[in-house]
Chain A
Amino acid sequence: MFDQLGDALQRTLGDLRRRGVLDEEAISRAMREVRLALLEADVELGVVRAFVAAVRERALGAEVRRSLTPAQQVVKIVHEELTSLLGASDSRLAFSPRPPTTILLAGLQGSGKTTAAAKLALLLRKEGKHPALVAADLQRPAAVDQLVQLGREIGVPVYADERADPVAAARAGIERARLEGRDVALLDTAGRLHVDEPLMEELAAVRRAAKPTNVLLVLDAMTGQEAVRVARAFQERIDFDGVVLTKLDGDARGGAALSVRAVTGRPIVLASSGEKLDALDWFHPDRMASRILGMGDVLTLIERAEAAIEDEEKEELERRMLRGEFTFDDFLASYKLLRRMGPLQGVLRLIPGLGSRLEGLDEVDERQLKRVEAIILSMTPYERRTPHVIDGSRRRRIAAGSGTTVEQVNQLLHARRQMAKLLKTAGSGKMPRLPAGLAGDGLPGQGPPRPSATRTSKSKRKQRKRKARR
Chain B
Amino acid sequence: MARSWAELLGDTGAAPEQGTQRVRLFSRLRESLGRSRRALAGELAAAVFDPRDDAGWERLEEVLLAGDVGVRATAELVRRLEAREQLGDLAAALAEEVAGLFGPPPTLDLGHQPAVILVVGVNGTGKTTTIGKLAARLAEHGRSVVVAAADTYRAAAEEQLEIWARRAGADVVGSQRGADPAAVAYDAVQAALARGRDVVVVDTAGRLHTQTNLMEELAKVRRVLAARLEGAPHETLLVVDATTGQNGVQQARLFRDAVGVTGVVLTKLDGSAKGGVAIPIAYELGLPVKLVGVGEALEDLQPFDARDYARALLGAE
Residues in A lying within 8 Å of B, measured CB to CB? 36, 39-42, 44-45, 108-112, 139-143, 145-146, 148-150, 153, 193-195, 220, 222-227, 229-230, 247, 249-253, 255-256, 275
Contact of B210 among A194, A249, A255, A275 (CB under 8 A): A249
| Residues A226 and B68 in contact, CB atoms below 8 Å apart | yes
Interface flag for B35 (CB, 8 Å): yes
Interface positions, chain B 68-107, Cβ under 8 Å from A, are: 68, 70-71
* Min CB–CB distance A146 → chain B (angstroms): 4
Q: Which of B59-67, B110-118, B134-142, B300-308 contacts A (4 or more CB under 8 A)?
A: B59-67
Cβ B209 vs Cβ A250 within 8 A: yes
Q: Which of the listed residues B245, B247, B273, B274 has the most CB atoms from chain A within 10 Å of its own CB?
A: B245
Q: How many of chain B's residues touch chain A, expressed as a range?
A: 35 or more
Q: Which residues from chain B contact A193 at a C-beta distance below 8 Å?
A: 268, 270-272
Would you mind naming 7 contact pairs between A and B with Cβ atoms under 8 Å apart? A40-B71, A42-B68, A109-B126, A110-B241, A149-B156, A225-B274, A226-B272
Q: Given A142-B163, A145-B159, A226-B243, do A249 and B208 touch, yes or no (CB 8 Å)?
A: yes
Q: Which residue of B lies closest to A146 (CB)?
A: B156
Out of B126, B155, B274, name the residue touching A150 (CB < 8 Å). B155
Q: A112 and B123: CB pair below 8 A? A: yes
Q: Mark B162-199, 1 if CB is under 8 A from A, else 0.
A: 01100000000000000000000000000000000000
Contact B271 A226 (CB under 8 A): yes
Most chain B CB inside 10 Å of its own CB: which residue of A36, A139, A247: A247
Given A142-B163, A249-B211; A256-B245 close (CB under 8 Å): yes
- Say yes or no: B272 contacts A194, CB within 8 Å: yes
B277 on the A face (CB < 8 A): yes
The answer for the CA separation of A276 and B61 in the assembled complex, in Å, is 40
CB pair B159–A141 under 8 Å, yes or no, is yes
Interface residues of B (CB under 8 A from A): 35, 62, 65-68, 70-71, 122-126, 153-157, 159-160, 163-164, 208-211, 241, 243-248, 250-251, 268, 270-274, 276-277, 296
- Whether A225 and B247, one on each chain, are in contact in the complex, defined by CB atoms closer than 8 angstroms, is no
Which A residues are CB-close (under 8 A) to B159? 141-142, 145
Give Cα A252 to B163, complex, Å. Answer: 32
A224 with B68, Cβ < 8 A, contacts A108-B271, A142-B159, A230-B243 known: yes
Given A42-B246, A45-B65, 10 more A-B residue pairs with CB atoms under 8 Å apart are: A39-B71, A108-B268, A146-B154, A146-B155, A193-B271, A224-B273, A250-B208, A250-B210, A251-B210, A251-B250
Contact B124 A112 (CB under 8 A): yes
Contact of B268 among A40, A109, A143, A250 (CB under 8 A): A109
The reply to whether B211 and A223 contact each other, CB–CB distance below 8 Å, is no
**Contact indicator A45/B66 (Cβ below 8 Å):** yes
Give, as a whole number of angstroms, the nearest-CB distance from B124 to chain A: 3
Smallest Cβ distance from A412 to chain B, in angstroms?
A: 58
Residues of chain B within 8 A (CB-CB) of A141 are: 159-160, 163-164
Q: Is the interface of B mostly helix, strand, loop or mixed?
A: loop
A276: shortest Cβ distance to chain B, in Å?
11
A145-B156, A146-B156, A275-B123 known; A251-B272 Cβ under 8 A: no
Smallest Cβ-Cβ distance to B205: which chain A residue: A275
Q: Indicate if the CB atoms of B156 and A226 lie closer than 8 Å.
A: no
A68 to chain B, nearest CB (A): 27
CA distance A144 to B72 in the complex (A): 42
**Closest A residue to B35 using CB positions:** A195
Which B residues touch A143, using CB under 8 A?
156, 160
Q: How far is the CA of A146 from the CA of B124 in the complex (A)?
A: 14
B71 contact set on A, CB distance < 8 A: 36, 39-40
User: What is the CA–CA distance of A230 and B268 in the complex, to the nearest angstrom?
Assistant: 13
Task: Assess whether B248 is in contact with A110, with CB atoms less than 8 Å apart.
Answer: no
Residue of A nearest to B70 (CB): A40
State how many angstroms separate the Cβ of A94 from the closest Cβ of chain B: 28
Whether A108 touches B243, Cβ cut-off 8 Å, given contacts A225-B65, A250-B208, A251-B210, is: yes
B60 to chain A, nearest CB (A): 13
Q: Complex formed: what's the CA distance from A41 to B244 in Å?
A: 11
Would A247 and B243 count as touching, CB distance under 8 A? no
Residues of A within 8 A of B155 (CB): 145-146, 149-150, 153
Instruction: Give the chain B neighbours of A146 by CB distance below 8 A.
Output: 154-156, 160
Contact of B247 among A39, A148, A195, A253 (CB under 8 A): A253
Partner of B156, one of A142, A194, A195: A142
Smallest distance from the beta carbon of B58 to chain A beta carbons, Å? 11
A224 touches B272 (CB 8 A): no
Q: Which residues of chain A have C-beta atoms less than 8 A from B122's C-beta?
A: 222, 247, 250
Interchain CA distance A226-B250 in the complex, whole Å: 18
Are A39 and B65 touching (Cβ within 8 A)?
A: yes
A251 to B250 CA separation, bound complex (whole angstroms): 8
- Per the bound structure, the CA–CA distance linking A112 and B35 in Å amounts to 25
**Chain A contacts for B208, CB-based, 8 A:** 247, 249-250
| Chain B residues with CB under 8 A of A139 | 296
- Closest chain A CB from B66 CB (angstroms): 5
Contact partner, B66, options A150, A225, A275, Cβ 8 Å = A225
Query: Which of B68, B125, B241 lies in contact with A225, CB distance below 8 A?
Result: B68
Could you tell me the distance between the alpha carbons of A249 and B70 in the complex, rounded to whole angstroms?
Answer: 22
Q: Which of A150, A224, A275 contacts B244 (CB 8 A)?
A: A224
Report the nearest A residue to B123, measured CB to CB: A247
Q: Shortest CB–CB separation between residue B89 and chain A, in angstroms?
A: 25
Residues of A within 8 A of B248 (CB): 222, 224
Within 8 Å CB of B273, what residues of A?
A: 224, 226
Query: Are A255 and B163 in contact, with the CB atoms below 8 A?
Result: no
